Amino acid sequence: MTLKTILGLAGLPGGYPKDEIDGIEKAKEFMRSGTGYSQIQGTRPQTLAVALTDSPAGLLAWIGEKLHIWTDSYPWTPEELITWTMLYWVNGPAGGLRYYKENSITGPPKDPELRAQFDYLRASWSPTPLGFSWFPKEIASIPPEWAGINQPLVYSKKHHKGGHFAAWEVPELLANDIQNFITIVLEKEPRLLNVA
């Protein structure tokens, strides 16, 4: 299920708490005005890659904007901004940009066989357990129960701080969630402990 589809459900009644309604509204606004980067990365990644490879300052601006806007007022240091920029610049930004093109779905495929696979994937249920961490400043925040639309949601935790880069902003919160999720999964499926 795509984010656009999920946000289409946002008009349904449900008595969601204010923080979740705020998250839905923020996600809608992001879809309206914050996805320009995704459009260019999803359609012309190589053009952007050449420009950003040629200009470390340009790459810093491209990455720095997202780091600033998509976090929960995290106090980025100059060293952290340079570190993030160097991670992309040293290897070349093309791979990170191309990911959007390789994983973008612009609509159902015209080929009938591919269309059948597309429809199956959109409607398929996965039995794989899912853990969900909710952060208030995530760019496309949805209510936790929506995360379990296509998978069994076995762990969910709402936090009062954190954004899109929660692993950097609040690593202890995310690490705790991952540990709790794994504990629940292993309690339900102890055979996973014996996988070599």
* Angstrom distances, CA of residue 106 to CA of 43, 58, 90: 10, 28, 31
Give yes or no for residue 175 having a pLDDT over 70: yes
Q: What is the reported pLDDT for 60?
A: 96
Average pLDDT over residues 160-166: 96
Give yes or no for residue 182 having a pLDDT over 80: yes
Please report, rounded to a whole number, the percentage of residues in the chain having pLDDT higher than 90.
47
How far is residue 138's CA from residue 26's CA, in Å, rounded to a whole number? 9
pLDDT confidence tier of residue 127, bands split at 50, 70 and 90: confident
163 pairs with which residues across the strands? 137
More confident of the two residues 61 and 14: 61
Q: What is the reported pLDDT for 173?
A: 99
Give yes or no for residue 107 having a pLDDT over 60: no
More confident of the two residues 188 and 110: 188
- Mean model confidence pLDDT for the chain: 86
Half-sphere exposure of 156 (CA within 13 A, CB side): 12
How far is residue 89's CA from residue 121's CA, in Å, rounded to a whole number? 35
Say whether pTM exceeds 0.85.
Answer: no
How far is residue 93's CA from residue 173's CA, in Å, rounded to a whole number? 29
How far is residue 110's CA from residue 174's CA, in Å, rounded to a whole number? 40
